[in-house]
Amino acid sequence: MTIAEHDPLTTASTQLLIGGKWRSGERDATFEVFDPSTGSSICDVADASANDAIAALDAACQVQSAWAATAPRERSEMLRRAFELMMTRRDELASLVTLEMGKPLAESIGEINYAAEFLRWFSEEAVRVHGEYRMAPSGSSKILTTRQPVGPSLLVTPWNFPMAMVTRKIGPAIAAGCTTVVKPAEQTPLSALVLGEILREAGVPDGVCNIVPTSRPQEVVTALLGDPRLRKLSFTGSTQVGRLLMSQAAGNLLRLSMELGGNNPFMVLADADIEAAVEGAMVAKLRNMGQSCVAANRFLVHAAVAEEFSDRLTARLGSLRVGPGGDEGVDVGPLIDEAQRQRVAGLVDDATRAGATVRVGGSAPSGAGYFYAPTVLEDVSSGAAINREEIFGPVASIRTFASDEEVLVAANETVQGLAAFVYTRNLGTALRAVDSLECGMVGINRGLVSEVAAPFGGIKHSGLGREGGSEGIHEYLSVKYAAIQI
Ligand code: NAD
């Protein structure tokens, strides 16, 4: 399949979705969405103002109690239908993701599968929300616990997985009985908008899912966080913005789920299967052109195997085809925008100034689009900025270590704590690493940790709360307890 087989622009609405109606923004304002593989404009999308956002919250609040009272089975079946609809339209939706975000079509198909699975998973979780009835230790009373939806929730999502980051939030919100206002990233609003259509077609009532793309996220999100009717914020994005929103959310003491940035170590220990490690590195580094919060950011490789690992990784990265994500045979698409490309180039230049060697890549090809060549850097000094900052690009930065103990200490030398990857043949070493790594997720001999049925999330500056798994729905539920005297 190529992108030309579908016209992605007929796929999605370009208006705001408020109270079940597609409408333009206040004063008919719009903003442009760009194709990162050419830099040219794709279309104009309605630009929500703070007043539009409050209208969306009005719609969410109006139906919150009726929505909370629907049968869990009904909500479950809506999600199941939405899953089926996404799968039926998978190729068309994948084309849209590639168009607005840039990733190769095969990866976009993977994203649609992953995104749809959240709807199916939470359709199954919707009917498994339990309470308890137990005796107080004194024997004098009974304790009844039930779970209730938190209430109207604001879902703020990033551009890197424009469909999956929305379904990972809206799936559990719908399952739990919360109404929502979705604020997608301004670079990629179209995927969220088509999801709004799919949810409506699946029977989700007017007002439950409201979508407000905007070119002014600060203004819109600030207005919503300042409204005492909002009960929850679920945010995925950078640590910097996450910290700002947490402080704003403190005013109304909102429930928070924060999925923030990572600085994930990828450790290759002396006894690792090097072929498997290179295979894992390709996924952990190259998926989404490196623009993933769980991308490998620091390759920490034992000196005894460093040359072999580096040679093989260099050969693999050097053979990748870079180009527009919609073209046949392309492995690596563009970065999201010029600012992102400049950041990546700046980190590479800083590392080479500090003594790193470029094994392959290290530059941006000329021509249209925000491409950056897959790059391997060796001998990166520990002080280089690339060790501290999230790269968010196709650059593998390698440092060597003399002992496995030293590697584990270096892995934790970061304020972030999202994911880590360990390659070793020793089960004991692997399990000790799981215990000692300061992060929320560990890949053992595996370069991919994202899994719908597992709790995704971080510790330290990588965030709070978990998405997916049986934990995910609890982010949208609060526990109520009744003390009962019989
Ligand atoms: P970002 O923080 O710039 O933007 C994320 C969202 O916040 C967007 O919707 C944006 O419009 C909005 N936003 C930006 N500034 C805002 C402000 N001042 N007030 C209110 N809203 C604002 O992040 P990004 O560049 O879109 O995404 C990349 C970041 O997301 C990376 O750091 C990545 O690690 C992180 N991420 C984390 C996860 C995870 O699950 N932990 C998943 C994907 C991405």
Instruction: List 484's β-bridge partners, or say none.
Output: 142
With contact defined as beta carbons under 8 Å apart, do 179 and 152 qualify?
yes
Q: Average pLDDT in the 359-382 region?
A: 96
State how far the Cα of 447 lies from the Cα of 281, in Å rounded to an integer.
6
Is the model's pLDDT at 26 over the cut of 50? yes
| Nearest protein CA to atom 20 of ligand 1, as residue | 218
For residue 246, report the phi and psi dihedrals to the nearest 5 degrees. Answer: -60, -40
Which tens digits make up the pLDDT trace of 52-71?
Answer: 999 999 999 999 999 999 99
Which tens digits make up the pLDDT trace of 145-163?
Answer: 999 999 999 999 999 999 9
State how far the Cα of 461 lies from the Cα of 451, in Å rounded to an integer.
22
List all residues 6 or more positions away from 16 whose beta carbon is below 8 Å from its beta carbon: 22, 23, 24, 25, 46, 48, 52, 56, 210, 211, 212, 213
| Nearest protein CA to atom 17 of ligand 1, as residue | 218
Q: Average pLDDT in the 66-93 region?
A: 98
Q: Which of 293, 338, 471 to mutate to test the pocket of ligand 1 (most atoms within 8 A of CB)?
A: 293
Which tens digits make up the pLDDT trace of 33-52?
Answer: 999 999 999 999 999 999 99
| Nearest protein CA to atom 35 of ligand 1, as residue | 237
Is the model's pLDDT at 470 over the cut of 90? yes
**Mean pLDDT, the chain, whole residue set:** 96
State how far the Cα of 469 lies from the Cα of 453, in Å rounded to an integer.
4
With contact defined as beta carbons under 8 Å apart, do 281 and 315 qualify?
no
Q: How far is the CA of 182 from the centre of ligand 1 (A)?
A: 13
Is the model's pLDDT at 12 over the cut of 80? no
Q: How far is the CA of 470 from the centre of ligand 1 (A)?
A: 25
Q: Please tell me the predicted confidence (pLDDT) of residue 405.
A: 86
| Nearest protein CA to atom 40 of ligand 1, as residue | 259
Could you give the C-alpha distances from 185 to 50, 57, 291, 402, 457, in angstroms and in order? 16, 18, 14, 43, 20
With contact defined as beta carbons under 8 Å apart, do 358 and 375 qualify?
yes
Q: Which of 159, 191, 241, 344 to mutate to test the pocket of ligand 1 (most atoms within 8 A of CB)?
A: 241
Give me the active site residues, please. Answer: 259, 293
Q: How far is the CA of 239 from the centre of ligand 1 (A)?
A: 8
Work out the pLDDT band at 1, boundaries 50, 70, 90.
very low
Could you give the C-alpha distances from 244 to 159, 161, 162, 238, 307, in angstroms and in order? 19, 22, 22, 10, 43
Is the model's pLDDT at 3 over the cut of 60? no
Amino acid letter, residue 92: E
- By percentage, how much of the chain surpasses pLDDT 70? 98
Q: Please tell me the predicted confidence (pLDDT) of residue 6.
A: 61
Cα separation of the two ends of the chain: 66
For residue 422, report the phi and psi dihedrals to the nearest 5 degrees. Answer: -130, 130
With contact defined as beta carbons under 8 Å apart, do 302 and 75 qualify?
no
* Paired sense of beta strands 21-23 and 16-18, if any: antiparallel
Which tens digits make up the pLDDT trace of 238-260?
Answer: 999 999 999 999 999 999 999 99
State how far the Cα of 343 lies from the Cα of 460, in Å rounded to an integer.
24
Nearest ligand 1 atom to the CA of 183 is 9
What are the structure tokens assigned to 360, written together?
């392959």
Q: Which of 100, 156, 157 to mutate to test the pocket of ligand 1 (most atoms within 8 A of CB)?
A: 156
* Residue indicated by tokens 């039930």: 146
Q: Please tell me the predicted confidence (pLDDT) of residue 485.
A: 95
Is the model's pLDDT at 121 over the cut of 90? yes
Which tens digits make up the pLDDT trace of 272-311?
Answer: 999 999 999 999 999 999 999 999 999 999 999 999 999 9
State how far the Cα of 193 lies from the Cα of 17, in Å rounded to an integer.
8
Is the model's pLDDT at 408 over the cut of 80? yes
Q: Please tell me the predicted confidence (pLDDT) of residue 5.
A: 57
Which residues form the pocket of ligand 1, taking CB atoms under 6 Å from any ligand atom?
156-160, 165, 183, 185-186, 217-218, 221, 236-238, 241, 244-245, 259-262, 293, 390, 418, 458, 463
Q: How far is the CA of 356 from the centre of ligand 1 (A)?
A: 30
Q: Average pLDDT in the 267-276 region?
A: 98
- State the Cα angle at 215 between 106 and 181, rounded to 5°: 75
The domains of the chain, with CATH numbers, are 3-260+463-485 (3.40.605.10), 264-452 (3.40.309.10)
